[in-house]
Amino acid sequence: MNIKKIGLTALAASLVSVSAHAGEMSVAGGASMATEGYSGEGLNAGTTFSMGNQLTFTGSGELDNGLNVSLSFVLDQGDDGASPNSLSTAPFDSHSVTVSSDAMGSLTIAGEGGSSAATSIDGTAAGDIWDTFDGARGYVTAVAVSDSGPGDNSLFYTTPAIMDGLTVNLSYQPQGSGRESATGYGFSYTGVEGLTAKYAVTDEAGTTTALSGDQTVWSLSYAYGPVTASASNSDFDVETTASDQETSSYALSYTISDELSVTYGEETIEKGGSTIDAEYSVIKASYTAGGMTITANMKEGENVNHTNNSSADFEYWGLSASFAF
C-alpha cells in the first residue's frame, strides 16, 4: 500500500474543498445558413451556400472577497486554422479570463480574440461592408482595412462608471519579437437618452519604425423614435504613408416594428498615396422572431483596390438565417 500517495491525495482533496466556491457553467450557441452571389466584370460567382456554427462556454463564480471571476471559451469551426481537423488551432477560437467587481471595474486577459481600445469600437456605422469584398474576388484583390489588433495574451481594463454614462477602457499589448509594447485608451458616453458616443486611440506596434504609429477611432449613434442615425471614422496612421488608411461611414436605420427593420449605409476608404477612394454601399432588411433572424442585403463595391478600372467594381446579394440558442 502506498501510504504517501494516499496522504497526498487526501491533502489535495482537502485543498480543493477549502478553495472551491459556488459557480456556474453555461453554453450559448449560434448557427446560420446563407446563400449569396457576386457579379462584376470578369466575375460571375453564381450562387453559393454556406453555414456557420459556434458554441461559447462560459463559467463564472463569486469569491469570498466579492470578486467575480469568469472564463469564456469559444468553439468555432470557421476559425482561422489551416484545417477543420487541425487541433493546434481550429476549431478553438477566442478565450479569456475576466476578474471584476462593481468597485474596481473589470480586468480581462485574452489568450486570443481580444480587442484593443480602438478595435473594440472600430466597426463601421454601416457594418463593415468592405469585409464582404475583402480578399480575392475574381482577378481583383480588394483592400483590407488595417487596425491596431492587440494580438494574443493582451490585457484590457474597463473602469466602473466615472460619472453618469461615462466609462473608460484601457488596453495593453506586451512587447513582442521585433516590436515594442502598445497601449490604448478609450471613452464611452451614454449619458444622454438615445445617444452613444465613443472615442479611442491605440498604438500600432509595428515590427519597424516605418510600420509603427497609431489608430484613432470615433463613433456616434443617436436614436430618435424609430430612426437611428450613425456615423464613424477610423484613422490608421503610420510612418509609411502608403500604409495609411482612413475609413469613414454613416448609416440610417428605420425600425418598422419590433421584428422588422431596414438600414442603408455607405463606407469610404482613403489610402495614403492614392487619389482614388474605395467606396461601398448597402441596403439591408432584417426580421427577428424569437432566436431567429432573417437578413436580406444588397451591397456594392466600387474601386475596391483603389483604381477606377471597371474590373474593380462588384455587386453582391445575400440571404441568411441565423439562430441563437
| Identity of residue 35 | T
pLDDT of residue 142: 81
Task: Give the per-residue pLDDT at 140.
Answer: 73
Q: What is the mean pLDDT of residues 208-223?
A: 93
pLDDT of 222 higher than 90: yes
231-271 tens-digit pLDDT:
999 999 999 988 899 999 999 999 999 999 999 999 999 99
* CATH code of residue 68: 2.40.160.10
Cα–Cα distance for residue pair 265/85, rounded to 1 Å: 38
The answer to whether 262 and 256 are in contact (CB under 8 A) is yes
Tell me the per-residue pLDDT of 283-325, one tens digit each, with 9 for 90 and over: 999 999 988 999 999 999 999 999 998 888 989 999 999 999 8
What is the predicted pLDDT for the residue at 246?
96
Considering the domain boundaries, does residue 194 fall inside one?
A: yes
State phi, psi for 259 to the nearest 5 degrees: -100, -30
pLDDT at residue 21 in the model:
56
- How many structural domains compose the chain? 1
The answer as to whether 14 is a domain residue is no
Does 195 or 48 have the greater pLDDT score? 195
How far out from the chain centre does Cα 319 lie?
22
Mean pLDDT of 8-28: 54
Q: 221: closest CA among 249, 196, 199, 198?
A: 196
* Closest to 119 in 3D by CA, of 184, 213, 56: 184
Give a yes or no: residue 37 inside a domain.
yes
73 has pLDDT over 70: yes
Query: What is the extent of the structural domain holding 293?
Result: 23-324
Band of residue 47 on the pLDDT scale cut at 50, 70, 90: confident
Q: Does 13 reside within a domain?
A: no
17 within a domain of the structure (yes/no): no
140-142 and 135-137: which strand pairing? antiparallel
